[in-house]
Structures are given as C-alpha cells and as structure tokens.
Amino acid sequence: MTGPRVRRAVIALGSNLGDRDGLLREAVRAVDATPGITVVAASAPVSSTAVTLDGLDPSKPTYLNAVLLADVTLDDDALLDALQAIEATHGRTRDVRWGDRTLDLDVVALDDERIDTERLQVPHPRAAERAFVLEPWLQLDPEARLAGAGRVADLASRLTERTRPVPGATSLLDPAPEPSPGAP
C-alpha cells in the first residue's frame, strides 16, 4: 500500500500592506499548519516595486516578497482553496486586479507538472518574468528549473528589474529579526 502522492510546490508570497514581514511569517506558519502541506524551506524576504496592470508602479506601497518550498499531498483545487483561505484570514480582498494586498500566495510550480484549468495555471504564467519570484526561489535552490522555461538562474539573469535585499532579513521560517536600535 502506498501513501498519497507527494509533489514539491513552489509558492510565492507577497505583501504590500500592513506589517508585511509579520504577515509573510504568519502565512508560512499557516501554510505549514495546513493538513497535506509541509513547508520544507522558505526564503528571506526581498523588496520589490509594485506591479499593476499598467506595469511597474513606484507610487504604490513597496512589496515584500518571498518563496517557500513545500511537500504537498493535496489535489490542485484543495491546495488553491487552502492558500486562498489563508489569504482571506490575513485580510486579502480581491477588489482590484493586481491591486495592493495584505497577502498574496501563488502556486508557481508543482514538480514539473503543467496544469491549465479555469482556477489554476502551473507553471505560473508570469513567473519567468518576475524577479520577485525568481530571486527568492534561487535562495532556496540555485539549480531550480521552471518547467517549459528553463533554469531559474538563467531566467533571472535576463530581467532588468531586480529585487532589493531587506537589511537583516532572515528566512521566513526563522523568528522575526529584532528591530535595530532607533528603528520605528
């Protein structure tokens, strides 16, 4: 007798409203606490300019982004439902497409699978164009590949927009770093 099929998921996290670092750390804990999902690694957060339907928008609040790797036994819809429930619990609303958000959780990859349903596209259709996905992913797996697109390192090297490191940032699996003296 064999157990449920385990797939390695790459999940991108983002937040540009509220306590962004705290929200991302809470989200990683919530994902890991979900039956059928085991987080195995999480990047440190990086900072990025907001992307809207019209492109980069530096007038919007800056995002913190990260990537986590998880072993998943859930089916596609159950995984998406679980992630959307975590977003909702953390104040995510879906009023404006590509609008500001407290929390965004996107399935970037599931092993090397290709999924194209009304609810889910994997690999994520814009992952290869997003430094805020590729660069944190490389923190976790320098040899990562995006199905149908190639090596993540090669994809990232072709992008002109880059993320910015967050001083003192640690893996989202680590306790939150202490604020530096004099920090607000």
**Looking at the chain, how many residues does it have?**
184
CATH number at residue 159: 3.30.70.560
- The pLDDT of residue 171 is 94
Which DSSP letter does residue 163 get?
Answer: -
Nearest-angstrom CA–CA distance, 120 and 59:
30
DSSP annotation string for 94-116: -SSTT---S-EEEEEEETT--EE
User: Is 169 within the bounds of a domain?
Assistant: no
- The pLDDT of residue 31 is 97
Burial (Cβ within 10 Å: 0-12, 13-18, ≥19) of residue 127: buried
State which residues of the chain have pLDDT below 50.
183-184
What pLDDT, in 10s, does the model give residues 73-113? 999 999 999 999 999 998 766 666 666 788 999 999 999 99
How many structural domains comprise the chain? 1
In terms of Cα–Cα distance, which of 54, 73, 56 is closest to 6?
73
For the annotated catalytic residues, the residue numbers are 92, 101, 104, 106
- The pLDDT of residue 45 is 97
- The pLDDT of residue 161 is 87
- The pLDDT of residue 178 is 67
Please check whether residue 152 is in contact with residue 131, taking contact to mean a CB–CB distance below 8 angstroms.
no
User: Is 183 within the bounds of a domain?
Assistant: no
Its domain, for residue 157, covers 7-163
Please check whether residue 79 is in contact with residue 19, taking contact to mean a CB–CB distance below 8 angstroms.
no
For 94, the token pair is 């879906």
User: Is 170 within the bounds of a domain?
Assistant: no
User: Is 49 within the bounds of a domain?
Assistant: yes
- The pLDDT of residue 56 is 82
- The pLDDT of residue 34 is 98
